[in-house]
Chain A
Amino acid sequence: MLRVEAEHRLGALPLDVALEVVPGECLALAGPSGAGKTSVLRVAAGLLRPERGRVEAGGEAWLDTERGIDVPPERRRCGYVFQEYALFPHLTAWQNVAYPLRGVPRGARRGRAIGLLERFGMRELADARPPTLSGGERQRVALARMLAREPGVLLLDEPLSALDARTRAGAARQLAAVLREAEAPALLVTHDFAEAAQLGDRVGIMDTGRVIQEGSASELAAAPTSAFVADFTGAVVLTGVARSAANGLTRVELDGGGVVVSIDPGAGAVAVSVYPWEIEIEPADGPRGPVSTRNHLPAEVLSVTTVGNRVRLGLAGPQPLAAEITRVAADALELRSGMRVTASWKAVATRLVAV
């Protein structure tokens, strides 16, 4: 079990977090840069001493500012993967992995290090120096080095952000496997919600030094408690004023014009969120009979971006919108920028949160 509680003033940003991770679990902290995510890792590792805080791992107190306990970083068994991996440039890959192997007899270190590298398919490159390795290879050396420490806690700071898009998918799978096999609690930090959803058993959304919502990725996406979380999880967020309607639904007059309805209760100023893939697109002048979608907004197509078999549409309506449809559908509709369309979605897919 890893428990981190910290209160600290980082320049203008007050850090105030309390979180727990059970063995074998990975908690992904996601949030924009400057939210204080890395500071949480540094507090856990002992690289940052908060004004007030407690860190406990495996029943051992690593930090307790009240009791005056502060175990130095070298005596906390943390496997820390740094954002740019922080491999020692003057040491070879295997020497990097062997760096934490101090209890191991000198002669056995190389074998142990190479064994770990082999696990990541890096045996051939054991004698290469980090500056000559690719981003993906460096990440694998960093993971091997982390495991060589036999850590009681895993701390990973943006482990995928230094990689290009092509390498990232493979590296994410490898990392997910390491996290799955690890018995230690893991704390991972990322600015990308999709990455947090992929790697974390639980996701905590951080903003301005606090964890503002915690839960499984699907819980967060389905029931964001704030406009910030809704926006961060990738939803379209519109603002407006809500009041109850006669039919048991909530009616929201959007700022800038237009009306949408939601099944969520709400009154006064609200943020309306809907996921881009819930939005249907039809020609503005197309015939419309009775349909199950309750929300229809006129919009103009601003951009059409093909992503694999999907198309992401940027729409200009009373407020900006984004929609995701299949490429086949986009081709059938002959979507081009400048076209007038109607964006529709169900009241059931419309989330309301007070702002």
Chain B
Amino acid sequence: MKGWFPLLLTVALALALVFLTLPVIAIFVDSSPAELVESLGEPGALDALWLSLRVTAISLAVILLVGTPAAYLLATRAFRGKALVVTLVELPLVLPPAVAGIALLAAVGPSGILGGAIDATGIELALQTAGVVVALTFVASPFYIRQAMASFASVDRTLLDASRTLGASEARGFLRVMIPAALPGLAAGTALALGRALGEFGATLMFAGSFQGITQTVPLAIYDRFSTDFESALALSAVLVAVSAGILLSVKFVQGGEALGIAAR
């Protein structure tokens, strides 16, 4: 490469790369693998990992089950006020997590506008595991719905027409044609929501608190430990890094499928 401009580009990339990877690498350099494994053995850490796994899985299931048909509707139908509906669905994306937590308390907390109704069903949300699921679903679902909408919209509509002329109801076409054709995008949306849910901190802390084994997910456990037991905080962080990297890689892998033309035009 000749000239100052390519050099500038290279320097910019090198700076970005070092800045972005150094902290991540530091997590693994700061403590030996043996130490990491040992501090994971501590009961509080395992509780947090197990809880994070459970609540993330449940909220992801809810997001997929409700978000997929909702996104399909938004992508395939035109109706009055659609732009407003889309904006409202996307709103939690830009909401600060602390505001999300307060908003959830005001809506479904014990003294929130729906608090009485929820209380009457015997379900407790605030300061409970179920509350963590609510917080995660609230902050993570727009990531999925947005991406799912875009990928449904990019599927050639004549595929659905073809499915119907071939004798399949719209519901069957949705399951057998639209979902498979939109799959790479749906997977990417799932990964985004998963990453957001796994790392959720603010809304969970405000709405559900930080009780070991009940509402203390991994990010909350890391925060809880970092002043007292830095080693253990590092170990939990290392686990989150590994899981996040795994999610990113799997998305890249699934999106490789697009090269095969699985997502239509």
**Which of B166, B183, B261 interacts with A100 by CB under 8 Å?**
B166
Per-position binary interface string of chain B over residues 235-265, scored 1 when its CB falls under 8 Å from any chain A CB and 0 otherwise: 0000000000000000000000000111010
Contact A149-B159, Cβ < 8 Å, known A88-B177, A89-B262: no
**Which of B165, B168, B177, B264 interacts with A80 by CB under 8 Å?**
B165
Please tell me if B162 contacts chain A, counting CB pairs below 8 Å: yes
**Which of B158, B159, B169, B260 interacts with A74 by CB under 8 Å?**
B169
Please tell me if B167 contacts chain A, counting CB pairs below 8 Å: yes
How far is the CB of B241 from the nearest CB of chain A, in Å?
A: 34
B262's nearest neighbour on chain A, judged by CB, is A90
Instruction: State the CA gap A193–B265 with chains docked (Å).
Output: 30
Chain B residues whose C-beta falls within 8 Å of the C-beta of A83 in the assembled complex: 158
Main secondary structure of the interface of A (DSSP, over half): loop
Contact A73-B165, Cβ < 8 Å, known A88-B177, A90-B183, A129-B260: yes
Chain A residues whose C-beta falls within 8 Å of the C-beta of B161 in the assembled complex: 45, 47, 73, 80, 82, 86
A99's nearest neighbour on chain B, judged by CB, is B166
Please tell me if A78 contacts chain B, counting CB pairs below 8 Å: yes
Please tell me if A145 contacts chain B, counting CB pairs below 8 Å: yes
Please tell me if B115 contacts chain A, counting CB pairs below 8 Å: no
In contact, A82 and B162 (Cβ under 8 angstroms): yes
In contact, B164 and A73 (Cβ under 8 angstroms): yes
Interface residues in A67-113 (C-beta closer than 8 Å to B)? 72-80, 82-84, 86-91, 99-100, 102
Please tell me if B163 contacts chain A, counting CB pairs below 8 Å: yes
Chain A residues whose C-beta falls within 8 Å of the C-beta of B177 in the assembled complex: 88
Please tell me if B180 contacts chain A, counting CB pairs below 8 Å: yes
**Which of A47, A91, A102 interacts with B165 by CB under 8 Å?**
A47
**Which of A74, A79, A102, A155 interacts with B164 by CB under 8 Å?**
A74
Please tell me if A34 contacts chain B, counting CB pairs below 8 Å: no
**Which of B165, B168, B260, B264 interacts with A78 by CB under 8 Å?**
B165
Please tell me if B156 contacts chain A, counting CB pairs below 8 Å: yes
Please tell me if A320 contacts chain B, counting CB pairs below 8 Å: no
Instruction: State the CA gap A36–B201 with chains docked (Å).
Output: 57
In contact, A45 and B165 (Cβ under 8 angstroms): yes
**Which of B162, B163, B167, B180 interacts with A90 by CB under 8 Å?**
B180
Chain A residues whose C-beta falls within 8 Å of the C-beta of B176 in the assembled complex: 99
A103's nearest neighbour on chain B, judged by CB, is B167
A83's nearest neighbour on chain B, judged by CB, is B158
Please tell me if B181 contacts chain A, counting CB pairs below 8 Å: yes
Interface residues in B136-170 (C-beta closer than 8 Å to A)? 156, 158-159, 161-169
In contact, B164 and A47 (Cβ under 8 angstroms): yes
Instruction: State the CA gap A146–B163 with chains docked (Å).
Output: 11
B169's nearest neighbour on chain A, judged by CB, is A74
Please indicate which of the listed interface residues B164, B168, B169, B262 has the most CB atoms of chain A within 10 Å of its own CB: B164
Chain A residues whose C-beta falls within 8 Å of the C-beta of B165 in the assembled complex: 45, 47, 73-74, 76, 78-80, 149, 155
Instruction: State the CA gap A75–B163 with chains docked (Å).
Output: 12
Q: How large is the interface on A (under 10, 10 to 19, 20 to 34, 35 or more residues)?
A: 20 to 34
Please indicate which of the listed interface residues A77, A100, A129 has the most CB atoms of chain B within 10 Å of its own CB: A100
Instruction: State the CA gap A91–B168 with chains docked (Å).
Output: 15
**Which of B158, B168, B169, B180 interacts with A86 by CB under 8 Å?**
B158
Instruction: State the CA gap A100–B177 with chains docked (Å).
Output: 13
In contact, A89 and B261 (Cβ under 8 angstroms): yes
Chain B residues whose C-beta falls within 8 Å of the C-beta of A84 in the assembled complex: 156, 158
Instruction: State the CA gap A163–B116 with chains docked (Å).
Output: 65
Chain B residues whose C-beta falls within 8 Å of the C-beta of A73 in the assembled complex: 161, 164-165
Chain A residues whose C-beta falls within 8 Å of the C-beta of B159 in the assembled complex: 86, 88
Instruction: State the CA gap A108–B51 with chains docked (Å).
Output: 48
Please tell me if A338 contacts chain B, counting CB pairs below 8 Å: no
How far is the CB of B250 from the nearest CB of chain A, in Å?
A: 19
In contact, B168 and A99 (Cβ under 8 angstroms): yes
Chain A residues whose C-beta falls within 8 Å of the C-beta of B167 in the assembled complex: 74-75, 77, 100, 102, 149
Instruction: State the CA gap A149–B168 with chains docked (Å).
Output: 11
In contact, B181 and A131 (Cβ under 8 angstroms): no
Instruction: State the CA gap A46–B156 with chains docked (Å).
Output: 18
Instruction: State the CA gap A76–B164 with chains docked (Å).
Output: 9
How far is the CB of B160 from the nearest CB of chain A, in Å?
A: 9
Instruction: State the CA gap A45–B183 with chains docked (Å).
Output: 28
Per-position binary interface string of chain A over residues 100-140, scored 1 when its CB falls under 8 Å from any chain B CB and 0 otherwise: 10100000000000000000000000000111000000000
Chain B residues whose C-beta falls within 8 Å of the C-beta of A149 in the assembled complex: 165-167
Instruction: State the CA gap A49–B162 with chains docked (Å).
Output: 16
**Which of A46, A145, A155 interacts with B166 by CB under 8 Å?**
A145
Chain B residues whose C-beta falls within 8 Å of the C-beta of A102 in the assembled complex: 167-168
Interface residues in A138-154 (C-beta closer than 8 Å to B)? 145, 149
In contact, B260 and A82 (Cβ under 8 angstroms): no
How far is the CB of A189 from the nearest CB of chain B, in Å?
A: 14
Instruction: State the CA gap A84–B265 with chains docked (Å).
Output: 12
Instruction: State the CA gap A89–B262 with chains docked (Å).
Output: 6
Q: Can you give 26 A-B contacts (C-beta < 8 A)?
A: A72-B164, A73-B164, A73-B165, A74-B165, A77-B167, A78-B165, A79-B165, A82-B162, A86-B158, A86-B161, A86-B162, A87-B162, A88-B159, A88-B163, A88-B181, A89-B261, A90-B180, A90-B181, A90-B183, A99-B166, A99-B168, A100-B166, A129-B261, A130-B261, A145-B166, A155-B165
Q: Which 8 A-B pairs have the closest CB atoms?
A: A131-B261, A86-B162, A80-B165, A100-B166, A73-B164, A90-B180, A86-B158, A74-B164
In addition to A47-B164, A74-B166, A90-B262, 11 A-B residue pairs with Cβ atoms within 8 Å of each other are A47-B165, A73-B161, A73-B164, A84-B156, A86-B156, A86-B158, A89-B264, A90-B183, A129-B261, A145-B166, A155-B165
Interface residues of B (CB under 8 A from A): 156, 158-159, 161-169, 176-177, 180-181, 183, 260-262, 264
